[in-house]
Chain A
Amino acid sequence: MRNKRDQELLRYAFGELEESKTEALREKAMHDAELAKELQTQERFAVSLNLLKEVPEDQYSKERLRAAILERCLEPREPARAKLGWLWMPAVAFTLTFAIMLLPSLKPKAEPMVVKDPNPMRIQAPTPVVLNRNAVSRSTPAVQIQKAPEPSTAALASAPVSQKWSPKRSRKQYATLVASRSGERAESPTLPVPQAPAVKGTAKNTKPDSDPVLLPPSNDEPIVIIGTLPDSPGRATETEAVTGVLVGG
């Protein structure tokens, strides 16, 4: 309360109090001697400050300022935004670092080296047994033709294998297929053959360019090759297990 009153008195003394409040304060001071004395003190304070408004003449000259500026060799500084040029430096440094780190992975990979396998699969594989050397092309040594016994040959020739090996079909499935076909042929050797010529002998009439079936090269499941005995036609014997056998009719 006292603080507010003191504030009001100071504002009155410096002429910053509202007109209505000033009038009210004066009215009140007319009946209150203590308040009147206090107002007088405040007014004296405000007036005494006017004594300080007088300032002696300065003797500072333009030449002195110029000398001071020259002494410091000053020029107006560049705008602040021009000085912010350093801000792009970290960005550039970061980009460069990133580029240097990324560069090895962006380089084109070296040409693949062709290394000759000293032990190729062809050498490792056992020598394929060609049942009918005349009918089999020798251009692909890894692919051999299996010739069925005589009764089967006709059927095989008449019904060429149309199903080639596909990666989706497993070796076991293929073996089952071959076995089933062999069984069919064995069961019905006199199956009517519409287009196949009569086959006599063994593989002489076998079409060499009929669709061969190329078994996938694999060492997991060897194919058992059955060959005919040269001295006893019509009989077969197991020769050996090979891989990469071309079966054709």
Chain B
Amino acid sequence: MEGIVSTMGATATGRLELESDERLVQRARSGEYEAFEHLFDRHRVLVYRFAYQMVGRRDDAEDMVQEAFVRAYQNLHRYRDEAKFTTWLLRIVTNLCTDQARMSQRRTNLEQKEAAGALDWMTVGMTNDPVQNLEDERRKAALRSALNALPAHHRTMIVLRDLEEREYPEIAKIIGCTIGGAKLRVLRARRALRDRIAPLLAQ
């Protein structure tokens, strides 16, 4: 590809760092691949975190990051400046995760079984580990399993609001609903998760 430039000078890098996302998008649109790589550097962690929270596995999350940025590169012309670039990017990842969740229904069922088993372990207390770190790890694993067992639309809301701490207006933009609708969806998702981990909470 002609647009890919293998080396970047320090001056050029510094110049790109100062530029806004919108400007970098414009440059990338015109074929300047460096600008797109800079966008990737800037928002990679955000996308990866979201993807990891959604899929629960690092390698899967990395695949999701790759797919998200490839799609973003393909569809740069569709990006409109009225939305933040991160919002647009998160929308892409959200759609990817939703699609993946739909495709892997069997896998989700398996996750649900695993989650149920983990909760059984947590509630029955078969392992009595005195080390708090290990306890936390187990709690975390149980929570993660419960989260992964949630339907994709509930999981998305929990991740966006409670794990990535996005504001409601941005969530509304990412999901494509009103702010009130976003609040309601978050509430329902929380309720669904809470009901799943109720035995754990009762401990």
Contacts and interface: CB of A to CB of B under 8 A. Distances in A.
User: Chain B: interface residue count, which band?
Assistant: 35 or more
Contacts of A64: 66
A42 B75 CA distance: 42
A69 B73 contact: yes
Interface string B150-184: 00000000100011000000000000000000000
Nearest to B71: A74
Contacts of B83: none
Nearest to B158: A49
B58 A56 contact: yes
A14 B143 contact: no
Contacts of B41: 62
B185 interface: no
A118 interface: no
Contacts of B193: 45, 49
Contacts of B49: 55
B166 to A, nearest CB: 13
B106 to A, nearest CB: 24
A42 B187 CA distance: 13
Nearest to B28: A76
Interface in A47-93: 48-49, 51-56, 58-60, 62, 64-66, 68-70, 72-80
Nearest to B183: A16
A10 B74 contact: no
Contacts of A48: 139, 143, 197, 200-201
A73 B29 CA distance: 16
Nearest to B29: A76
Contacts, number: 106
Interface in A32-54: 41-42, 44-46, 48-49, 51-54
Contact of A49 (B4, B75, B163): B163
Given A41-B201, A72-B70, A76-B73, A62 B40 contact: yes
Contacts of A51: 136, 139-140, 143
B66 A10 contact: no
Nearest to A48: B143
Nearest to B136: A51
B137 to A, nearest CB: 9
A219 interface: no
Nearest to B202: A41
18 contacts: A7-B187, A10-B190, A10-B191, A11-B187, A46-B162, A48-B201, A51-B139, A52-B140, A53-B163, A56-B58, A58-B44, A58-B65, A60-B48, A69-B4, A69-B73, A70-B4, A74-B1, A77-B77
